[in-house]
Amino acid sequence: MLKTDQISLPRQLDLVFRELEAELAGLTSGTVFVQIRNNVIGKFGIRQNPISGRNGHLSGGDSGLTAAQQASFRKMAIESLNFKRHWTHGEISYEFALRQDMVIVDATLESNYNMANLMIRYPRKDATSTYQEWS
């Protein structure tokens, strides 16, 4: 049986976009996010506000991204992984909007670190001397 940690990050991202196809087909804007831990995607989804109000009436979107637009979005998302450097934990957010039948995407890559991991990696003596230098 193949485990998630045996699948490359680009392939995992491809799977995420395939899972979100039906939801993206009903949206013209939003934010796709993926949370990464040890280079494995865990939680993912879409942040959206599909209801728009005008003159006291609320309405949802009538259509969303076509299959071709989703393929373009997925390709840009996978290419954005080339900008990920030296981190294994974090979140990537893809803010998207449909403008003149083109998908516009802004990617934000966020790395996360844990101070407890640093305390294990660096001996206490070094941490204390570094702290004294700062004060």
Q: Encoding tokens for residue 80? A: 């954005």
What are 10-44's pLDDT values in tens digits?
Answer: 999 999 999 999 999 999 999 999 999 999 999 99
Q: Which residues, including other chains, have CB under 8 Å from residue 31's CB and lie 6 or more apart?
A: 46, 47, 48, 93, 94, 95, 96
- Give the global pTM: 0.80
Counting the structural domains of the chain, the total is 1
Residue range of the domain that includes 9:
4-134
Q: Encoding tokens for residue 83? A: 């900008």
Distance in angstroms (rounded) separating the CA atoms of residues 44 and 40? 11
Dihedral sign computed on CA atoms, order 63, 68, 73, 78:
positive
Q: Which residues, including other chains, have CB under 8 Å from residue 114's CB and lie 6 or more apart?
A: 89
What are 52-95's pLDDT values in tens digits?
Answer: 667 777 766 668 999 999 999 999 999 999 999 999 999 999 99
pLDDT surpassing 90 at residue 7: yes
**Quick one: pLDDT at residue 54?**
72
